[in-house]
Amino acid sequence: MPLTQALRIQELSPEELAVYRSLDPARLPEHVAIIMDGNGRWAGKRALKRFLGHQRGADSVHFVVETASRINLPYLTLYAFSLENNLRRPRAEVSFLMKLLRNYLTGNVKRMNDNNVRMAYIGRTQDLPAEVQETMQWAAEETARNTGTTLTLALNYGSRAEIVDAARGVILHLLAEAQRRGCTIEDWIGVGGLDAVDEDALSRHMYTAGMPDPDLLIRTSGEMRISNYLLWQIAYAELYVTDRLWPDFRGVHLLEGIAAFQGRSRRFGGLDTEFSDESLPDPQMPELVR
Ligand code: FPP
């Protein structure tokens, strides 16, 4: 693994390499999630049609995935199409995005295989057009044996919908468990069946089951919003918002986001290690009581 990694690092551009060398390889994130925003504004600034912004955005996807795979990032999850996009965007834009997605998948499977990238999806993908689902499945199967970066596209994805789906899954599991034991659901709850409904159970029913939570969430185009993305999973993620619009985002900017992440102190609700019980003042001390 270290040899493979060293070889792939040599494939970084000089600009990327300069940022990469400033990173601590022992503290690279395991999972980076990105809200790819600003395609429309990128096009608007150039008096171009919105769809050209999306097209350039698809090029950025390729560049960023390639850099992620070169640094051996285990998981990269991209917000490509939200439930809200599906419901609220003009039909012509939605079908353009669907076409772009299919083209992206068909045109990039070879590159994904060259880069050892495995495709996965999260979202209510069963509601996407049949031909899109077929291409998605094909790309997932073609890349299933790859062991490098898992590229997950969030498609027809909404985080609240995901939590609802997970809750439904947990309820069905509870009912099945009662049935398996030959008792009613009330009886099963009466003897502690609800104890199995905990954070781990919900996580296991999320679309992201089996993946680590994102360590870093990047959002492009400067908006300070989460936009219904991975609400459950980003509980302790570091947030990095850049004004750069998605079509201008490249691998080097991913590395800059990782550098910012490494500059943060992650406490997960605890304290920095330099603080110990002894360094805390006695709450009964008069100067604090005053
Ligand atoms: C936001 O731009 C982006 C999207 C709605 C979807 C992201 C889609 C892509 C990056 C292109 C295709 C992706 C793949 C995987 C092939 P926006 O239209 O909301 O921008 P705006 O806020 O500036 O209007």
Euclidean distance between CA atoms 242 and 220, whole angstroms: 5
Which residue in 37, 39, 86, 146 is the catalytic one? 37
Structure tokens at 2: 């270290």
Say what the pLDDT of residue 189 is. 95
pTM (predicted TM-score)? 0.92
C-beta separation of 66 from 274 below 8 A: no
Q: Would residue 85 show up in a list of annotated catalytic residues for this protein?
A: yes
pLDDT, tens digit (0-9, with 9 covering 90-100), for 135-161:
999 999 999 999 999 999 999 999 999
Please give the full DSSP string across 173-196, using - where no structure is assigned. Answer: HHHHHHHHTTS-HHHHHHTTGGGG
Mean pLDDT for 234-263 is 98
54 lines ligand 1 (CB under 6 A): yes
Q: Which residue has the higher pLDDT, 6 or 93?
A: 93
pLDDT, tens digit (0-9, with 9 covering 90-100), for 73-84:
999 999 999 999
Query: At how many degrees (to 10) do helices 91-114 and 130-143 cross?
Result: 10
Lowest mean pLDDT among 93-97, 119-123, 221-225, 270-274: 270-274
Residue ranges matching CATH 3.40.1180.10 in the chain: 29-157+213-262
DSSP code of residue 244 = S
In 3D, which of 154, 133, 140 has the Cα closest to residue 80? 154
Say what the pLDDT of residue 266 is. 77
CATH fold, domain 29-157+213-262, is Undecaprenyl pyrophosphate synthetase (3.40.1180)
pLDDT band (50, 70, 90) for residue 106: very high
DSSP code of residue 153 = E
Say what the pLDDT of residue 175 is. 96
Instruction: Considering only the C-alpha atoms of the chain, give the largest distance between any 2 of them, rounded to a whole number of Å.
Output: 72
Say what the pLDDT of residue 184 is. 95
**Ligand 1, atom 12: closest residue by C-alpha:** 58
Q: Which of 54, 87, 121 to mutate to test the pocket of ligand 1 (most atoms within 8 A of CB)?
A: 54
Which phi-psi region, left, alpha or beta, contains residue 221 (left: φ > 0; alpha: ψ -120 to 50)?
left
Q: Which residue has the higher pLDDT, 110 or 284?
A: 110
40 lines ligand 1 (CB under 6 A): yes
244 lines ligand 1 (CB under 6 A): no
C-beta separation of 67 from 251 below 8 A: yes
pLDDT band (50, 70, 90) for residue 275: low
With a cut of 50, say whether residue 289 has pLDDT above it. no
pLDDT, tens digit (0-9, with 9 covering 90-100), for 161-190:
999 999 999 999 999 999 999 999 999 999
Euclidean distance between CA atoms 41 and 16, whole angstroms: 26
207 lines ligand 1 (CB under 6 A): no
Say what the pLDDT of residue 128 is. 97
DSSP H stretches of helix in the chain: 2-9, 14-21, 39-45, 50-70, 83-88, 91-114, 130-143, 159-180, 185-190, 199-205, 251-262, 286-289
Q: Which amino acid is at 279?
A: S
Say what the pLDDT of residue 33 is. 99
pLDDT, tens digit (0-9, with 9 covering 90-100), for 188-208:
999 999 999 999 999 999 999
Element (H, E) at 5: helix 2-9
Mean pLDDT for 4-11 is 74
With a cut of 70, say whether residue 282 has pLDDT above it. no
